[in-house]
Amino acid sequence: MMRQIGQISQIRRANYQPIIGLEIHIELKTKSKMFCGCPADHFGKPPNTQTCPVCLGLPGALPVPNRKAVEWTIMAGLALGCQIPGESKFDRKNYFYPDLPKGYQISQYDQPLAISGKLGNIGICRVHLEEDTGKLVHVEKATLIDFNRSGVPLMEIVTEPDLTSSDEAKEFLQNLQRIIKYLGISEADMEKGQMRCEPTVNLEIKKGNLTVYTPLAEIKNINSFRFVKRAIDFEVQRQFEEFERTGIEKQAGNKVTRGWNEQKGITILQREKEEAADYRYFPEPDIPPMRFERKNIEDLRKKLPELPEKRARRFIREYGVSEYNAAILIENKGKADFFEEAVSYARELEKPPGTKAIGDWIVNKRVDLAKTSPENLLKAILAKAGAATLDDSELIAAITSVLGINQKAVIDYNNGKEPALMFLVGQVLRRTKGKGDPGQIRLLLEKELHDDKKR
Amino acid sequence: MKLNELTIKEAHEGLRQKKFSSLELVRACLGQIKRLDPKINAFITVCEREAAKEAERADKILGQKPTDISARPLLGIPVAVKDNFCTKGLKTTASSNVLADFIPPYDATVVTKIKDAGAVILGKTNMDAWAHGSSTETSDFFTTHNPWNFNRLPGGSSGGSAASIAADETIASLGSETAGSIRQPSSWCGTVGFKPTYGRVSRYGLIAMASSLDCPGPIAKTVSDAAILLRIIAGKDPSDATTSSYAVPNYLEKINKGTKGIRVGVAKEYLAVAENEIKEAVLAAVKTLEKMGAKVKDISLVDPKYAIAVYTILQRSEVSSNLARYDGIRFGFGREKFGQEAKRRIMLGTYYLSAGYYEAYYLKAQKMRSIICRDFEKAFKDVDVILGPSAPTTALPLGASKDHPMFGEMMDILFEPSAIAGLPGLSLTCGFSAEGLPIGMQILGPQFSEELLFQVGYAFEQATDWHKRKPKL
């Protein structure tokens, strides 16, 4: 009987499809905060050491928008294929929370900086700019507030509900993170809270001829890519089970907010009737509306770096690297830049190694970019390349000669003294002036010594 | 003449010529405050010791580098500041119990500017709590009395600043206006009040009432004093994104150019609202200007009664958001300390902005605001300035505002249209009622026409003696 129910579930499971939309917050790494001159870099700073009347929301203080943050948000919008409307404005989102000093958050409501974009096949609904809140620190019997984070520029990206699996969500986020880092506008480190993701999940279920939807759930408190996947997976399963049990469908006003509990690996109900919240948005009277000329937008577009996907395609086309290696080379901007620097350095050489070989080397050898320079990398490749051009006969001649001169080492080796072999490898390399692959020399030596012994 | 009765101009000259010291000047004002303020209640805080110290410092500068006074037009001159401007280290309450013990860690931009010009801050003046009102009766502390008649209201919300000027308790003062809060008390107290173009003067450090309308401005004894003060406090402020980079002229330069050829519009809709006595005084003023060469023209404006609705909706909406920060968590006291008027405004504004009502109220009001702006633009194609009554009545008896939640809006009916449009307006005395109370008239102009308004006002002041009359105290 039990088994039968399980089977029915399996069958039904094939008839539902998760619908996932993402809301992503990214802290911009501008020098100063969104609306005042305090430093925006707050991670690990002593509490309340980076505050002023503006970000503390003191009486009479006024916000002055950070131009850089506005430009960067537009650039992010452009990188995500968005349209940039000629006019945008800030709005007040009114709500009470102890970490929100003014009693409202300056955000953008109906005129975001960027709209209607696409990343891969996922639609981008909007990109807007707002301010981060302070941070509550719960200690025994008290809650403390740290306002260092208050007013840090926060870019919000909202996708269309185009994602259908947790894997797709994770991949999208990694892709997005890479683009943001390429733009150089944020470190977008999820663990540090520089990038936060709130997926909204529900299911489309086919019941005979009917299609029904489960209530929307927005999931908060996720701080890694891994947990995005796990939280969505849990929520999908939970919603399916809940629907089987209750049959409750999505309707106006029954969206819920759930919190991801990392320890237990589950989502927990935080708030019901999420849509009932009334933020009483109205245009921020302290900040005049923003107008952008086409030329301003095009100037910003020109500032965009080559984005990872495009760069990978170019690496394949221009440098002949494999699709697989290209994907690894563009993983981060630093690595891709390193590769291209090595390529351009190689071009100045008389006998340069092939561009594909340089790429292969970086990928296969897992080169630690922090510990080498493009120049040194090329030296290493050339040494190896030199070895490859060394005739086998030259190498054999060198080995025979070394073995003849170093009889003591041969005897030592035959008596089981392993280090003697390394000594001989070194001697061969010395004779070939560094040409030749040490691994190959070692193999040839061993064979020779073994044959010797047999003789 | 007593030193405390001097204008900025006279005090400045006296100090320059070393006829008296700044300390003597400050002491004269402090003496008047000590003598009269128990009856008038213009001040919430009097900085007796600090003011004397600042005066001594000014005297030192006057002694050592007498040329400094040319660059610092307020050097050694006492100024009273409305208590909604943040003053570093000096209690700033907005006349609300919520902020009864609030000491700001920073100066408002206008305070910095007058300090840089050498001013001695004499104290902080009473107002309607949070500037919500036109009487000072909503002050959580006490009501200010009109120096012309202690049984009358001084008007508001800058009632303390206007009363302190009228009673010669200070040489100069700063007020703020959202819609009438400078001009209405000026009209009731017989002072000169100037409400500048929105964005002409920085709001940074002014405790916000309705942010899209708030405007700091001078309340003074003469038109030229108001011009001196405005020049000091006006200008682009990097801390206020709504300030304009429009150049600030020296308002004194063209102030005595007269009114010859200036086209003065008189709106029948405005005259219709005012009491007869006021209407007559204003029409007499029009005649005076006409005699001096002004070209008078009857004009028609949108009935000011519509402005009341627009203003009420926009202002309450912004108030409800601006007062949200007073939650008692970081400074001041909790929400239970809000007075009735503030609570009413918070509730009404919250309602206007609520989902489902926003379009019907706030958005509609914004549309009406555009209509009023266009109406003025149209009018200013035919005339250079518009002249009309300030407040529709002279100073009303104490208690008049009680139980009238819309008291302020009615008193400010003739200021609301120009405030909504962000226009500058100058209020000055143009006569006295049979009861001996001052009657105010206002001169309105297009945005950034401050210079012209001072010019017309100054010409009128020179041609009349109203400003020379003083209350018997």
> CA-to-CA distance for A274 and A252, rounded, in angstroms?
10
pLDDT band at A317 (very low <50, low <70, confident <90, very high): confident
Looking at residue A451, its pLDDT comes to: 73
Which of A64, A98, A281 faces B239 most closely, judged by CB atoms? A64
Q: Write down the mean pLDDT value for chain B.
A: 96
In a domain, B42, yes or no: yes
Looking at residue A5, its pLDDT comes to: 46
Instruction: Convert the pLDDT of each residue in A193-220 to its tens digit.
Output: 999 999 999 999 988 788 999 999 999 9
A232 and A318 part of one domain: no
User: Of A297, A317, A340, at which residue does a domain stop?
Assistant: A297
| E-state strands within A224-365 | 256-261, 266-271, 282-283, 290-291
In chain A, % helix, strand, coil (3-state, to 5) comes to 40, 20, 35
> CA-to-CA distance for B113 and A195, rounded, in angstroms?
42
Name which of B262, B255, B266, B256 is nearest B230 in CA terms: B255
Looking at residue A97, its pLDDT comes to: 93
Give the residue-averaged pLDDT of A325-333. Answer: 86
A107: domain range? Answer: 12-297
Range of lowest pLDDT (A437-446, B365-374, B390-399): A437-446
- The verdict on A60 touching B (C-beta cutoff 8 Å) is yes
A336 and A415 part of one domain: no
In a domain, B188, yes or no: yes
Give the residue-averaged pLDDT of B263-286. Answer: 96
User: Of A334, A354, A389, at which residue does a domain stop?
Assistant: A389
Catalytic residue list contains B212: no
Regarding beta strands A142-146 and A195-207, do their DSSP bridges make them parallel or antiparallel, or are they unpaired? unpaired
Looking at residue A10, its pLDDT comes to: 47
pLDDT at A313 over 80: yes
CATH of the domain at B360: 3.90.1300.10
In a domain, A411, yes or no: yes
Q: What is the DSSP letter of B245?
A: -
Q: In sequence order, what are the beta bridge partners of A135?
A: A146
A139 and A214 part of one domain: yes
In a domain, A5, yes or no: no
pLDDT at A24 over 90: yes
Name which of B11, B44, B36 is nearest B26 in CA terms: B11
A404 and A373 part of one domain: no
pLDDT at B100 over 60: yes
In a domain, B144, yes or no: yes
Instruction: Convert the pLDDT of each residue in A70-90 to its tens digit.
Output: 999 999 999 999 999 999 999
Name which of B8, B194, B182, B170 is nearest B79 in CA terms: B170
Which of B102, B204, B324 faces A62 most closely, judged by CB atoms? B204
In a domain, A139, yes or no: yes
Give the residue-averaged pLDDT of A332-360. Answer: 79
pLDDT band at A452 (very low <50, low <70, confident <90, very high): low
pLDDT at A3 over 50: no
Instruction: Convert the pLDDT of each residue in B335-375 to its tens digit.
Output: 999 999 999 999 999 999 998 899 999 999 999 999 999 99
> CA-to-CA distance for B242 and A345, rounded, in angstroms?
52
Q: In sequence order, what are the beta bridge partners of A220?
A: A259
For chains A and B, count residue pairs whose Cβ atoms are closer than 8 Å: 100
Whole-number percent of chain A with pLDDT over 90: 52
> CA-to-CA distance for A147 and A40, rounded, in angstroms?
11
Distance from the A319 Cα atom to the nearest Cα atom in chain B, whole angstroms: 50
Comparing alpha-carbon positions, the chain A residue that sits nearest to B351 is A280
A263 and A347 part of one domain: no
Q: Residues A239, A201: contact at Cβ < 8 Å?
A: yes
In a domain, B430, yes or no: yes
The per-residue DSSP string of A77-119 comes to: HHHTT-B--SEE--EEEE---TT-TTSEEEE-SSS-SEEEEEE
A260 and A362 part of one domain: no
Rg (CA), chain B: 21
CATH of the domain at A423: 1.10.10.410
> CA-to-CA distance for A306 and A315, rounded, in angstroms?
12
> CA-to-CA distance for A381 and B401, rounded, in angstroms?
89
Sign of the dihedral through C-alpha B256, B259, B263, B265: positive
A323 and A225 part of one domain: no
| E-state strands within A162-314 | 195-207, 210-213, 217-220, 256-261, 266-271, 282-283, 290-291
A273 and A319 part of one domain: no
A87 and A111 part of one domain: yes
Q: What residue type is A274 in one-letter code?
A: E
In a domain, B473, yes or no: no
pLDDT at A15 over 90: no
A288 and A361 part of one domain: no
A391 or A161, greater pLDDT: A161
A270 and A334 part of one domain: no
Interface of B with A in 50-69 (CB under 8 A): none
Which of B102, B206, B318 faces A285 most closely, judged by CB atoms? B318
Number of domains chain A is built from: 3
Give the residue-averaged pLDDT of A367-373. Answer: 78
Cβ-defined contact of B203 to A278 (cutoff 8 Å) = no
In a domain, A7, yes or no: no
Number of domains chain B is built from: 1
- Cis bond upstream, residue A401 (ω within 30): no
> CA-to-CA distance for A116 and A159, rounded, in angstroms?
9
What residues have CB less than 8 Å from B39, skipping those under 6 apart? B145, B150
Distance from the A47 Cα atom to the nearest Cα atom in chain B, whole angstroms: 15
Class of residue B335 by CB neighbours under 10 A (exposed 0-12, middle 13-18, buried 19+): middle
In a domain, A6, yes or no: no
Instruction: Convert the pLDDT of each residue in A151-174 to its tens digit.
Output: 999 999 999 999 999 999 999 999
User: Of A389, A412, A427, at which residue does a domain stop?
Assistant: A389
Instruction: Convert the pLDDT of each residue in B134-185 to its tens digit.
Output: 999 999 999 999 999 999 999 999 999 999 999 999 999 999 999 999 999 9
In a domain, B363, yes or no: yes
B339: domain range? Answer: 3-468
A91 and A138 part of one domain: yes
In three-state secondary structure terms, B294 is: coil
Please give, one letter per residue, the 3-state secondary structure of B35-59.
Answer: HHHHHHCCEEEECHHHHHHHHHHHH
Residue labelled with tokens 């104490």 = B398
Give the residue-averaged pLDDT of B8-26. Answer: 97
In a domain, A85, yes or no: yes
